[in-house]
Amino acid sequence: MKEVNNLEENYQCIGCGAEIQSENPEEMGYLPASTLEKKKIEGNFYCQRCFRLRHYNELQDIQLSDDLFLDRLSSIAEDDAFVVNVIDIFDVEGSMLTGLQRFIGSQPFVLVANKADLLPKSIKLARITHWLKQRFFENGLKPEEVYLLSANKPASLKALIDRIDQEVRQHNVYIVGVTNVGKSTLINQLLRHYGGEKEIITTSDHPGTTLDMIRIPLTETTGIIDTPGIIKENQMAHYLDRKGVKNLLPSQPIKPRIFQLNPGQTLFLAGVSRIDFSAGQKTAFTFYVSNDAYIHRTKTEKADDFYQKHKGQLLSPPYQDQLSDFPKLQGRDFQLNPNQDIAIAGLGWFTVNEPVQIRVWAPQNVQISQRESII
């Protein structure tokens, strides 16, 4: 393990090697200021993340910028590794790491699609698996296997755990993914499975481990390695507070919502997105989004005024105290056919039953994808 740096302003966690800081609980190396003062006397520093792992077998996610994350990720190519890439089934495009293969080299990886239990029950999971493989192949990514599961439901993890049991005999198992996909929930389930009641020791002295990665040893030479969650600015969650994210990310099985629209009508998705029906025949728009996400219909000619009047209140999130920081919505035009979806990163997706011309509004950096229908 790394020794504590004795410089006054530069202490390091002896669990993961991250520099200790007391400013941001969601960044690596966080330790409350009051605890830091006590630890200065004792001389052994565990960040809050490592402390909770050691004493409670709980692992909290931390966040890194895209560039810094990919720099950390490149060390995996130098290790004898097996990679588990976690994505959110409701945010495939936003949670896809398109540069993954480039950074892990020839190391094998599997894809874990979390929150599969929240899909409508009528969906055939075999189709979802095939669709995911196609989407990843299109981006040059070739997972050896796809696992549809719910990180909140231990029984759904059996097939993945069987694979990890097999791989960890010879390889370190790296868990990678963007923020808000349920990666930390998955790792906590693995901790409960492998750790039981015993204390889990965090280490940072084995090959392939860099700052802010945590190793959970399962054998004398290998273990599960948690990597920080990557922040992708193309996700809607990047622009919302915790309350807003909770409102817009599905937590219960979704119920598709259908709206019959005529050209010249607009639908608002809370205050974060808007869909204008520009041209086409009367059409059914079907939305696959959180049941808690508010959807409001109005005339397109009145939409601008309606948004200015009701954003932060009827149209929320964002909430009133966030309006000054929430970016302006920008419109993008699409010709959408019935066999296609429009996916808004961090929100979900919608489809239609007739060819239509639409304009989809969202913050400029939020990814809007036109794709083959997932359902």
The pLDDT assigned to 368 comes to 96
Task: Label residue 42 by pLDDT band (50, 70, 90).
Answer: low
Pairing of strands 223-226, 214-217: antiparallel
User: What is the per-residue pLDDT across 68-122, written as a single tens digit (0 to 9) for each?
Assistant: 666 667 778 888 899 999 999 999 999 998 888 887 888 899 999 999 999 998 8
In terms of CATH architecture, what is 57-230? 3-Layer(aba) Sandwich (3.40)
User: What's the one-letter identity of residue 361?
Assistant: W
Encode 19-32: b = buried (16+ Cβ within 10 Å), e = exposed. bbbeeeeebbbbbe
Res. 201: pLDDT tops 60 = no
N-terminal to C-terminal alpha carbon distance within the chain: 49
Q: For residue 162, give every residue at least 6 positions away whose Cβ sits within 8 Å of its Cβ, in sequence order, or none.
A: none
Alpha-carbon gap, residue 141 to 360, rounded angstroms: 28
User: What is the per-residue pLDDT across 237-285, written as a single tens digit (0 to 9) for each?
Assistant: 888 888 898 899 888 999 999 999 999 999 999 999 999 999 999 999 9
The pLDDT assigned to 164 comes to 96
Alpha-carbon gap, residue 339 to 373, rounded angstroms: 5
Length of the chain: 375
User: What is the per-residue pLDDT across 155-190, written as a single tens digit (0 to 9) for each?
Assistant: 999 999 999 999 999 999 999 988 788 887 898 888
User: What's the one-letter identity of residue 192?
Assistant: R
Rounded to two decimals, the pTM is 0.82
Alpha-carbon gap, residue 150 to 147, rounded angstroms: 10
User: What is the per-residue pLDDT across 343-364, written as a single tens digit (0 to 9) for each?
Assistant: 999 899 999 999 999 999 999 9
The pLDDT assigned to 8 comes to 47
Q: Looking at residues 50-65, what average pLDDT do you find?
A: 70
- Between the alpha carbon of residue 276 and those of residues 281, 301, 303, 358, the distances in Å are 14, 10, 9, 5
Domain positions in the chain are 1-54, 57-230, 237-372
User: What is the per-residue pLDDT across 297-349, written as a single tens digit (0 to 9) for each?
Assistant: 999 999 999 999 999 999 999 999 999 999 999 999 999 999 999 999 989 99
CB 163 within 8 A of CB 108: no
Based on its alpha-carbon atoms, the radius of gyration of the chain, rounded to whole angstroms, reads 22
